[in-house]
Amino acid sequence: MTRRMIFDRRHLLQGAAAGLAASALGARPAAAATVTIGFIYVGPKDDYGYNQAHAEGAAAVKKLRGVTVIEEEKVPETIDVVKTMESMINLEGASLLFPTSFGYFNPFVLQAASKYPQTEFRHCGGLWTDKNPKNAGSYFGYIGSCQYLNGVVAGHMTKTKKLGFVAAKPIPQVLLNINSFLLGARSVDPDITCRVIFTGEWSLAVKEAEAANALLDQGVDVVTCHVDSPKVVVQTAAARGAYVCGYHADQRPLAPERYLTGAEWNWATVYKTYVEKFLAGQPLPNFTRGGLAEGFVKTSPLGAMAPDAARRQFEAKKAEMTKGGYAIVAGPLKDNKGALVVPAGKKYLETAVELESMNYLVEGVIGAIS
Amino acid sequence: MQTTDIGYWSVPLAIVGGAIRVSTPFIFVSLGETITERAGRANIGLEGILIFGAMSAYATAVLSNSPWLGVAAAGVSGIAAGLLHGWICKFPRVNDIAIGIALMLLGTGLAFFFGKAFIQPSAPRLPAISLGFWSDIPQLRAALDVNALFVIGAALAVFLQWAFRNTRAGLILRTVGDSSDAARAMGIDPDRVRLLATAAGGGLAAIGGGYLSLYYPGSWNESISSGQGLMAVALVVFSRWNPLGCFAAALLFGGAGALGPALQSVGVTHGYYLFYAAPYALTLAIMIATSSPGRALAGAPCELSITR
């Protein structure tokens, strides 16, 4: 039933649009010359968050010549995404798909890639390896660097030395962000701690608001988050007088007085590179990663409330990271249970693939993975 | 921002604060459903009406810059949806549960469709009444910021409890709910009473939605409700069609929901998925503790399709 609803809805609109175009031009416009590219989002594409960041990238692709972009929002991380991918391939002739949510990758994208070897699949955040189909692949950005910079500013702004982090699920990317945020803050003052609350879901407005309130009740005075739509966390924390650091996209318009800076994606770079290669008939890379240096991620402009010391350290660190090859995770580093996770002298550059299977919270983070 | 370290006291405080913050939509939906079910009809589509109410309240508040106008718009949309349910159910051999499910899907779908343009804009929020002004502790003051709708909901629960027993309208409502034949013998048209009762229930549920989008969490998006309307309908059975019981059950549910985040914030971090199940586990436990084979449906209106 769901499947029929999905493509019925799109087809209804498309049919109406095609009908209008045909009646206006007297003939169906030539479709063969363009390449159809599909974007799939797990939530609404104007959510001030994860999906909006990807949709802004898709909007940049739309401006390229010879490209038709099709999009579908609110596709759950279940068999539904397979139905969406199949309808995009079989009914709309899509030859390159970007399923953007983490949970799509295994098994759905991998299975679809085996079944449709002529179609290219590039997934955001999955860990593609040599054993996976060659027409699949993954891309991601080292946004941990930006969370580190968030932490630097937060470390200068906090008076209580308590930071707060509202997190969705304890997956490696989220853990890396939490750890980076605290390590950034500890580069300013090693006594700072960070309380983390996991809500268990990517988007759960009431629980996110409760989490923000619980953190503030503990005396936390700078909050950031890793949930799909940071809008609720930003608004709730700012309304109670805390400072906030953004995530995914720029949330400054929601709380201009309280928004310090933010870790943002810059997917336009990634998608345009892929699509230009695809149009030129070149093979697409299977494994793409990049950080500040490659322009995959960016920071929101630093707010005027940040003192000069914060601004200097923020700009200096950002310049250092933009050169590439920066290591946030460097030994000696203990986890928050006291075990040594990174021995002295060992460094993980942001490019280190080990970081994508992180399973600990560093010392100073108050919280647990399970 | 001034803070005071209150340590573990923040857990009971979070439960009280959570009860006040989170319970309001539950109060409105369950009171609305109580009115409808007391008239002998179940409208389980209140989840859809809640979401549509949240959307229409937010959209109206964005466009008019007045949150109270938003609440009014939500009420009107809910009444309209309730009237639709009541009107369809008037026809013979129409199942009210099935219509409720249809209404739930319709309300959700329409809200997502019309709400697309309102995910980004910020609406003015409903004002809070500060009941914590006597305290120096900022956490306590924050917990005691009460919204007018919560106060209205509490007053409404008391009023309904009284009105069901002591007013003519309450008597008519209960008569219709317990026996259509007796109502007809008294010269009352049961369909008309149920139509009005469903409309009232829909209106209240939609106002509960307005609270969600305009006060707490105070934002419109497609996952704003996450099943609260459905849970509130279940709370009606849990509180045995008793308005004060609905109020208490809503408080309990809200307070238990705050437990998970509050415990994590003080460092009790293991097994948070278990704490998140607390409201449901608690509801089940009380259901089991208070049930008995002898009076399983005590208080249930006899005309309700689940008891018939």
**Unique residue bearing structure tokens 């508040």:** B61
Domain boundaries, chain B: 7-295
Name residue B21's amino acid.
R
Bridge pairing between strands B145-147 and A347-348? unpaired
Q: What is the DSSP string of B250-288?
A: HHHHHHHHHHHHHHHHTT--TTHHHHHTHHHHHHHHHHH
Whether cis (ω within 30° of 0) applies to the bond prior to B217 is yes
Name residue B101's amino acid.
I
For residues A37 and A121, the answer to whether their CB atoms sit within 8 Å is no
Which residues in chain A have Cβ-Cβ distances shorter than 8 Å to B262? 210, 214, 217
Angle made by CA atoms A13, A17, A22, in degrees to the nearest 5: 145
- By residue count, chain B amounts to 308
Half-sphere exposure of A142 (CA within 13 A, CB side): 27
Q: What is the DSSP string of A111-140?
A: HHHHH-TTSEE-EES----TTS-TT--EEE
φ, ψ (nearest 5 deg) of residue A96: -140, 125
Which residues, listed in sequence order, are joined to residue A259 by a DSSP beta bridge?
A244
Task: Determine the pLDDT at residue A2.
Answer: 43
| Cβ-nearest to A217 among B10, B21, B228 | B10
Q: What is the DSSP string of A3-64?
A: HHHHHHHHHHHHHHHHHHHHHHHSSPPP-TTSEEEEEE-SS-TTSSSHHHHHHHHHHHHHTS
Question: Which H or E run contains A197?
Answer: strand A193-198
Judged by a CB distance cut-off of 8 A, whether residue A254 touches chain B is yes
Q: Which two tokens stand for residue A186?
A: 């500890």
For residues A42 and A77, the answer to whether their CB atoms sit within 8 Å is yes
Task: Determine the pLDDT at residue B152.
Answer: 95
Point out the residues of chain B with pLDDT beneath 50: 1
Name, in order, each residue with C-beta under 8 angstroms of A238's C-beta and a sequence gap of 6 or more.
Answer: A244, A254, A255, A257, A258, A259
Domains A2-24+34-141 and A144-264+297-366 share a fold: yes
Judged by a CB distance cut-off of 8 A, whether residue A219 touches chain B is yes
Which pLDDT tens digits describe chain A residue by residue (370 residues)?
Answer: 344 444 455 555 554 454 444 444 433 344 446 899 999 999 888 888 999 999 999 999 999 999 999 999 999 999 999 999 999 999 999 999 999 998 899 899 999 999 999 999 999 988 888 899 999 999 999 999 999 999 999 999 999 999 999 999 999 999 999 999 999 999 999 999 999 999 988 888 999 999 999 999 889 999 999 999 999 999 999 999 999 999 999 999 999 999 999 999 999 999 999 999 999 999 999 999 999 999 999 999 999 999 999 999 999 999 999 998 899 999 899 999 999 999 999 999 988 888 988 999 999 999 988 7
Which residues, listed in sequence order, are joined to residue A72 by a DSSP beta bridge?
A40
Residue numbers of B between 227 and 286 with CB closer than 8 Å to A: 228, 257-258, 260-262, 264-267, 269-273, 276
Task: Decide if B142 and A213 are in contact by the 8 Å CB cutoff.
Answer: yes
Name, in order, each residue with C-beta under 8 angstroms of B183's C-beta and a sequence gap of 6 or more.
Answer: B172, B175, B176, B189, B190, B193
Whole-angstrom CA distances from A342 to A191, A333, A346 are: 20, 5, 6
| Among B82, B24, B13, CA closest to B52 | B82
φ, ψ (nearest 5 deg) of residue A205: -55, -50
| Among A260, A279, A242, A315, CA closest to A64 | A279
For residues A166 and A228, the answer to whether their CB atoms sit within 8 Å is no
Judged by a CB distance cut-off of 8 A, whether residue A205 touches chain B is yes
Which residues in chain B have Cβ-Cβ distances shorter than 8 Å to A370? 270-271
Other beta carbons within 10 Å of B171: 15
Whole-angstrom CA distances from A296 to A67, A198, A256, B52 are: 22, 26, 25, 38
Task: Determine the pLDDT at residue B134.
Answer: 85
A-chain residue closest to B3, CA distance: A219
Q: What is the DSSP letter of A335?
A: B
Judged by a CB distance cut-off of 8 A, whether residue B127 touches chain A is no
Q: Which two tokens stand for residue A117?
A: 């070897």
| pLDDT, tens only, B210-264 | 999 999 899 898 888 888 999 899 899 888 899 999 999 999 988 888 888 888 8
Judged by a CB distance cut-off of 8 A, whether residue B20 touches chain A is no
Task: Determine the pLDDT at residue A23.
Answer: 43
Bridge pairing between strands A120-121 and A67-72? unpaired
φ, ψ (nearest 5 deg) of residue B98: -65, -45
ipTM of predicted complex: 0.87
Task: Determine the pLDDT at residue A14.
Answer: 52
Judged by a CB distance cut-off of 8 A, whether residue B18 touches chain A is yes
Task: Decide if B142 and A240 are in contact by the 8 Å CB cutoff.
Answer: yes
CATH code of domain A144-264+297-366: 3.40.50.2300
Domain spanning B7-295, CATH class: mainly alpha
Which residues in chain A have Cβ-Cβ distances shorter than 8 Å to B221? 43-44, 47, 203, 205, 229, 231
φ, ψ (nearest 5 deg) of residue B10: -70, -20
Q: What is the DSSP string of A276-324?
A: HHHHTTPPPPSEEEE-TTTTSEEEPPPPTTS-HHHHHHHHHHHHHHHTS
Task: Determine the pLDDT at residue A29.
Answer: 41
Domain boundaries, chain A: 2-24+34-141, 144-264+297-366
CATH 3.40.605.10 fits A2-24+34-141, yes or no: no
